[in-house]
Amino acid sequence: MSQSISPEELKALIDQTYKVEEEYVALRQSYNHLQSTIEQVIEFLPNAIWIVETDGSIFLQNSQAKRLEKLFDTLHLEGEDYEMTFKERSYLIKSAHHNEKRLLSATDITEQKRKENLATMGQMAAHLSHEIRNPIGSIALLASTLIKRVIPENRPIVEEIQKSLYRIERIIKATLMFSKGVSAQKNAFRWWQLREALMSAISYYSYAKPIEFIFPEEDFELFGDMDLLTMLFTNFVFNAIDAIELDEEEDGKIEIFYQKKSTTHIFDIYDTGIPIENKKILFEAFKSTKERGNGLGLVLAKNIAESHDGYITLLDGERKGFRIVLLSYRGLGSEM
């Protein structure tokens, strides 16, 4: 005999059903909210994140991980943390287990590795520079004594020795400055002083072709470290000389154009030498675009410009050139 349900009991059952449904909806909304929060959190992280099922399929990943889809295919799902190289980039791979799922992350450490390598190379180069400096000083002293006594026919040989020593001394100075960092001691001086220092440096530099140097004739005041700024301009001019030497033309030209705009000095440097092959490594230490470069000239030039609240850019156009922008006096930022 079936037992009938009273209206009151039916109403209570229906109410209970609605209540369970409401709780289910609330629970579902809470779950969706939690999942959305987790997705936003892993999306916010700068490294690639994968959450992987036991069968190796991806349960969840962020956009960084999606961009490294081919990297994921090369990962070891089991094992401890390790470093790996993928498409000329370095990555730190970390792994952990949670609730039968494996969490994987890939952090791009290319820049960190580059800085570590540069620091090591800088320390080694600085040590070698210190070791070389003393014998080079002795050779330079002997050469200066020899040139006073040598017969006229042999004088060009001694002069070439002095020019080679000057090049070595520049490399040593650049290496030591790179390892210690650029520190500008700023004072007021005139452009003609820097121009004379630049022309003097050129006289010590070896080159075979006739080269026309066109530098600003007008005089104006600069505020900065004259020795550092001389090195900055010298690096660009010497690079231009080397490029002209490799060019097929019989002669060459190096021009520096000047203008003052607002609170900045602007120098545009052009040369007729061979074009720059790899523009991406122009300002990377120990990487040179020329055969006999040490890869520090433009790096130091950039650092020197920045120590004067300025910057250096490669000029786009038919002519090969660079723009150097320097603060005209203390206390104001550069404007263009």
Residues 152 and 226 in one domain: no
- The stretches in the chain having pLDDT less than 70 are 1-3, 35, 38-39, 41-42, 79, 117-122, 125-130, 171, 174-181, 279, 281-296, 329-336
Q: What is the DSSP letter of 154?
A: G
Nearest to 316 by CA among 281, 276, 263, 285: 276
In total, how many domains does the chain have?
3
Residues 164 and 269 in one domain: no
* Inside any domain, residue 152: yes
Which of 164, 181, 198 is where one domain is finished? 181
Residues 312 and 189 in one domain: yes
Where residue 300 sits, what CATH number does that domain have?
Answer: 3.30.565.10
For residue 293, what pLDDT is reported? Answer: 53
Residues 175 and 188 in one domain: no
Where residue 12 sits, what CATH number does that domain have?
Answer: 3.30.450
Q: pTM of the entire structure? A: 0.56
For residue 333, what pLDDT is reported? Answer: 39
- In order of 45, 89, 136, 144, 258, the CA distances from 206 in angstroms are 54, 39, 18, 17, 26
* Inside any domain, residue 2: no
* Inside any domain, residue 300: yes
* Whole-angstrom distance, CA of residue 268 vs CA of residue 291: 24
Tell me the three state secondary structure of residue 220. Answer: coil
For residue 11, what pLDDT is reported? Answer: 76
* Inside any domain, residue 207: yes
Where residue 119 sits, what CATH number does that domain have?
Answer: 1.10.287
Q: What is the DSSP letter of 56?
A: S
Which of 82, 111, 140 is where one domain is finished? 111
* Inside any domain, residue 59: yes
Residues 264 and 118 in one domain: no
* Inside any domain, residue 56: yes
Domain of 166? 114-181
Residues 143 and 216 in one domain: no
Residues 233 and 258 in one domain: yes
Which of 67, 89, 111 is where one domain is finished? 111
Residues 229 and 302 in one domain: yes
* Inside any domain, residue 1: no
Residues 156 and 80 in one domain: no
Residues 54 and 40 in one domain: yes
Nearest to 303 by CA among 311, 295, 313: 311
* Inside any domain, residue 133: yes
Nearest to 49 by CA among 75, 30, 84: 75
Single-letter residue type at 204: Y
Q: What b/e sequence results for 237-247 when a residue is b if at least 16 CB atoms lie within 10 Å of its CB, and e otherwise?
A: bbbbbbbbbeb
Residue 140: exposure state from Cβ atoms within 10 A (0-12, 13-18, ≥19): middle
For residue 189, what pLDDT is reported? Answer: 92
Residues 248 and 208 in one domain: yes
Task: Specify whether the CB–CB gap between 85 and 141 falls below 8 A.
Answer: no
For residue 326, what pLDDT is reported? Answer: 92
For residue 334, what pLDDT is reported? Answer: 36
Residues 234 and 277 in one domain: yes
